[in-house]
Amino acid sequence: MIKPNKDIDEVFGGIIKEKETRKLKALNEKKRSEWFGLGMFGMVGWSITAPTFLGAIGGIWLDKNYPETFSWTITGLVLGLVCGCFIAWNWIIKEH
């Protein structure tokens, strides 16, 4: 049977306790500044804008290479917008 080394147990226990205390303190403080709000506003804006822009670019390319009776550009734009809104919604849910 192996005997545990008390010095190692105490050091390891101290490290774990310190990390636990730091994490609990961070969870309880949750103070958010104005900069957090601006960052959130920017993140939501870009998470909608980027997929919408990419969908429109993809639609333009499809319209040039594979013409149809409907507009690929509008289809890509709408799909990108829906995808972007979904991403932004998930981001907001995760932050709150």
Taking the chain (96 residues) in runs of 10, the rounded mean pLDDT of each run is: 65 87 78 71 88 96 93 96 94 80
Dihedral of CA 53/55/59/62: which sign?
positive
Question: What pTM value is reported for the model?
Answer: 0.61
Q: Which two tokens stand for residue 84?
A: 């972007």
At 10 the pLDDT is 79
Q: What's the pLDDT at 84?
A: 95
Beta strands in the chain (DSSP E): none
Q: Are 75 and 59 in contact (CB under 8 A)?
A: yes
Residue among 94, 93, 95, 90 at smallest CA distance from 47: 90
